[in-house]
Structure 1
Amino acid sequence: MTGKAPPLGFFFYRTMTRAVSPLVPLLLRRREARGKEDPARLGERLGVASRPRPEGSLVWLHGASVGESLSILPLVTRLLAARPGLHVLVTTGTVTSARLMAERLPDGAVHQYVPLDHPDYCARFIDHWRPDLAVWIESEFWPNLIAAADRHGVPLALVNARITARSAHNWRHAPAFIADLLSRFRLIMAQDRASAARLRELGAAEVLEPGNLKHDAPALSVDEAELARLRAMTAGRTIWIATNTHEGEERAAGEAHARLAAEHPGLLTIVVPRHPARGQAIGQELAAAGLSVARRATGDTITPATQIYLADTLGEVGLFYSLADIVFIGGTLDDTGGHNPFEAARFGCALLAGPSDFNFAEAFPAFEEAGAMLRVADAASLAAAAARLLASAAECKHMGAAAQRIASGDSGATERTLDALLALLPAPEARSANHA
């Protein structure tokens, strides 16, 4: 525990979260109606566990959503292997990530929804799970939850930490608040140099730079039978992909398709939205632009007339990376900051991306410098870059090989992070004494 009084900002935040608690049921009902909460597990959001705590040592890892939770899967596996009898609790805040964790967490690991950041919910959560080590992934700071864990003497670690220039700027308006939060972490490991520098500026005493856990994540899974079925449906067609797209980027992909189709009859563009729930709206937008759209979520078949295949389902991105050699990485034509380029690179895909890349501020330039990525600015330049690669199989293959070389190397980030966490984790005999 830090053993020092929190700043006034924390007391104000704590008071405000208590004051709005009567609105929590309404908030949860609205989120449930929009498909953003699991009605069977709403109690978890109030700190009420849906399963008993297992006996023995337990490490708790928290990631906000899909990207963070997937990035820690190798770390979870190695933690369980390194400490026999250990259990792992993974918390996230989204329905999508909960479904993926249910499918992919190994034996010895369980998932729960993270409680809303209310003092009582957080205390209830910590009292039940009594973690021996708490690990935050990337950048989601929940002050009440961090304080509750610290108050119970739980060692805290912040790993694969990422903080953007915008977030750092916002935190500078509450310097004592963020400095206090950071001081509660016994270990802080940043995923890149820029994040490390910003964390130090915000008050972190020591920040290690072990590398990015997302670099070491395994290749996405592929259903081979479904892949064979899709290949049969698309045989002889030229295919490219726009993946992890956000609002506006689907329209750009559609415009690019229209520009490319004249030179490439039979072209098929696969659009994989970041949020599959937007599928119906995206399909309507593209159809209104005069494009023939087939939606995967509704079971539509790809026919010779299909121009856009809207892959609005969950957990199948690897399937589509297996179908094409050219991939546009979404979240780069708006202010999102880009999504994980390593996933497509592991499949040997040539990469296209817009200018917004602050979520992977070192990775995107590295792919570009290695000749694995072309940058675009809008629908017209996206079409031009895709046309360039469609016209040159040799360049496309060269770019894909360069991307795969970068993505296939083990950066060592997972192993270095594992060693640091094991050093924080109390030995089993110490745990027995502390929890007696």
Structure 2
Amino acid sequence: MTPPLLSLYLFLSGRLGPVARLWLKRRARRGKEDPARMGERLGIPSAPRPDGRLVWFHAASVGESLSILELVSRIRAARPDLRFLVTTGTVTSAQLMTRRLPPGAVHQYAPIDLVPGLRSFLGHWRPDLAIWIESEIWPAAIIETNRARVPLLLVNARMSERSARGWRRAPLMIGRLLGLFSAIYAQDKTTARNLTALGARDVKVTGTLKEGSAPLPHDDAERQRMAAQFEGRQLWVAASTHEGEEEIVAEAHRAVRRQNPRAILILVPRHPERGPAIAEALRAAGWQVVRRGAGETPDHDTQIYLADTLGELGLWYRLSSVSFIGGSLVPVGGHNPFEPAALGSAIIHGPHVRNFGDGFDRLRAVHAAIAVQDADTLAEAVCEALEPAEAARMAAAAWDLFSAGAEVTDRVVAELRPYLPAPAP
């Protein structure tokens, strides 16, 4: 019997199409949806289904989608007969996936959680296996995928104590939904404990795929070009910053430059479309700012290089010996520390790191990361980590920890192998 709250949710999910269209249009006006592909969000496909067995990966945003690239590549190498559909929900992740997915993989925007659109989506793509990443628990999507008789796995699962408390208010509903997953693989013991308490069966802890993902790519010719432009300068990068952080980072950079007058900050906002506004605010505060997104070139007077472009973190992590991880000085939850760890960069972060709490804990335990609280402590940490000997020591410790994480992908691939669809006749 379907729990009453779930029945109500599904009833509304089948009838809110007009409201959803208005909501999507409003988001599109704010740049949060792609107007040219709006139909995908309503379950209307924009590409044909490839022939053969199809594995559907769903990853919500940039971090989750990047974490599955190595997994998709490994499965594709072992099973070249399989085809892959990858769905994400954000414009930025769609742009990245379009560039970085391997041959045999198709990207679509994920349909929002409305029954008619989900039925249209599933009817067109007819996946043979669905693999959802991290914390994607959408009731209508789970129910409709199960009704379509598609095996459903939750991989790299993450559930914080806060999310678990919220779901405890609807125990019958979450218990029913979790029970429809054929297997659940958790990032950590906390998630496994929370999911089990909510009704999941046989949850296995495999670690985080973000720890075992391949190093971020880069253009080596561009790396050499930028290295020549920054020659003789001390670099540090503030990566994936959010609104409210750029001011703190700039204040810290002012203190860093008092000790290292030639230091230059590479500022990489999480959302590149904020670049013009960030540049205007920094220039108003007296900074010499160059915007990569506007095609501007740094010179010897440049104090902040605003890298407001997409998909180039691999370049900046390789150029900078010190990396501050954004989303951690404001209550966002932090971003992936294993990306700079894989590329030889010392790591600094703020207090808000719940999204990768276990990873940051382990990096600090081996003295590969420094926790800071504000602009003053950030400046102190940057100056400390810019010392060549300290930067090398921290980078080596981070690399050692990242290298051990490659086992996570191996473990997940082995777990998924029995669930992969048999070759087509």
* TM superposition score category, shorter chain reference: over 0.9
Match of 1:169 in 2: 165
Deviations 1:290-314 (A, max 9, x none): 2221111111211222111111110
Structural mapping, 1:397-416, within 5 Å = 397-416=392-411
> 1: CA distance between counterparts of 2:288 and 2:173?
52
Q: In the alignment, what sits opposite 2:216?
A: 220
Match of 2:299 in 1: 303
Q: Is the 8 A contact 1:210 1:412 kept in 2?
A: no
Is 155-164 or 204-213 further displaced after alignment?
204-213
Q: What percentage of aligned pairs have identical amino acids? A: 51
Instruction: Number of aligned residue pairs: give it.
Output: 425
Residue 6 (1) aligns with residue 2 (2): yes
More displaced, 78-87 or 214-223? 78-87
Partner-residue secondary structure (3-state), 1:272: strand
Letter in 1 for 2:403: S
The residue aligned with 1:366 is: 362
The reply on whether 1:387 has 2:383 as its aligned counterpart is yes
Task: Please report how far the alpha carbon of residue 410 of structure 1 lies from its aligned counterpart in structure 2 after TM superposition.
Answer: 4.3
CA offset digits 1:196-248 (Å, max 9, x no partner) = 11111211122101111111111111111211221222111111111111122
- The answer for the alignment partner of 1:422 in structure 2 is 417
CA distance in 2, matches of 1:393, 1:83: 45
2:55 is paired with a residue whose SS is: strand
Counterpart for residue 92 of structure 1? 88
- SS where residue 362 of structure 1 aligns? helix
CA distance in 2, matches of 1:126, 1:240: 46
Other structure's SS at 2:329 match: coil
Q: What is the rounded CA distance, in whole Å, between the counterparts of 2:267 and 2:79 in structure 1?
A: 42
Distance 1:231 1:420 in 2: 42
SS in 2 for 1:68: helix
| Residue 264, structure 1, aligned to residue 255, structure 2 | no
Structure 1 residue aligned with 2:29: 33
Q: Does 1:292 align with 2:288?
A: yes
Unaligned runs of 5+ in 2: none
Task: Give the Cα separation in 2 of the matches to 1:64 and 1:411.
Answer: 23
Q: How far did 1:15 drift? A: 2.5
Give the conservation status (yes or no) of the 8 Å contact 1:48–1:125: yes
Q: TM-score, normalised by structure 1?
A: 0.94
Residue 283 in 1 paired to residue 257 in 2?
no
User: In structure 2, the residue corresponding to 1:412 is in which secondary structure?
Assistant: helix
| Contact 1:211–1:411 (CA under 8 A) maintained in structure 2 | no
Aligned twin of 1:51: 47
AA aligned opposite 2:168:
R
**Contact 1:69 1:97 survives alignment (8 Å):** yes
CA RMSD of aligned residues (A): 1.4
What is the CA–CA distance in structure 1 between the aligned matches of 2:257 and 2:322, rounded to whole Å? 15
Which residue does 1:186 correspond to in 2? 182
Aligned 8 A contact 2:213 2:406 in 1: no
Deviation at 1:411, TM superposition (A): 3.7
1:387-409 per-residue CA deviation (whole Å, 9 max, x = no partner) reads 2223x321121111111111123
Distance 2:258 2:73 in 1: 49
Q: Distance in 1 between matches of 2:164 and 2:327?
A: 20
Which deviations, in whole Å up to 9, do the C-alpha atoms of 1:44-97 show, x marking residues without a partner?
Answer: 111111122122211101000111111111111122222231111110011111
Deviation at 1:40, TM superposition (A): 2.1
AA at the equivalent of 1:15: F
Q: Alignment partner for residue 228 of structure 2, among 220, 228, 232?
A: 232
Deviation per CA, 1:182-201: give whole Å up to 9, x if none.
11101000011111111112
Assess if the C-alpha contact under 8 Å between 2:16 and 2:114 holds in 1.
no
Amino acid at match of 1:185: F
Q: CA deviation at 1:12?
A: 1.5
Over 6 Å off, 4+ runs:
none
Unaligned residue ranges in structure 1 (runs of 5+): none
Deviation digits for residues 327-347 of structure 1, max 9, x if unmatched? 111111122221110100111
Partner of 1:335: 331
Kept in 2: contact 1:243–1:273 (CA 8 A): yes
Paired residue secondary structure (2:70): helix
Where 1:107 maps in the other structure, the secondary structure is: coil
User: Secondary structure of the equivalent of 1:262?
Assistant: helix
- Give the AA of the match of 1:402: A
**Partner letter of residue 33 of structure 1?**
R
The answer to which of 147-156 and 11-20 deviates more is: 11-20
Matched, 1:347 2:375: no
**1:87-135 CA-partner distances (Å, limit 9, x unpaired):** 1111001111111111111111111111111100001111111111101
Q: Does 1:18 align with 2:14?
A: yes
Do structure 1's residue 141 and structure 2's residue 137 form an aligned pair?
yes
Distance 1:389 1:154 in 2: 50
Contact 2:81 2:423 (C-alpha < 8 Å) held by counterparts: no
Contact 2:212/2:408 (CA < 8 Å) preserved in 1? yes
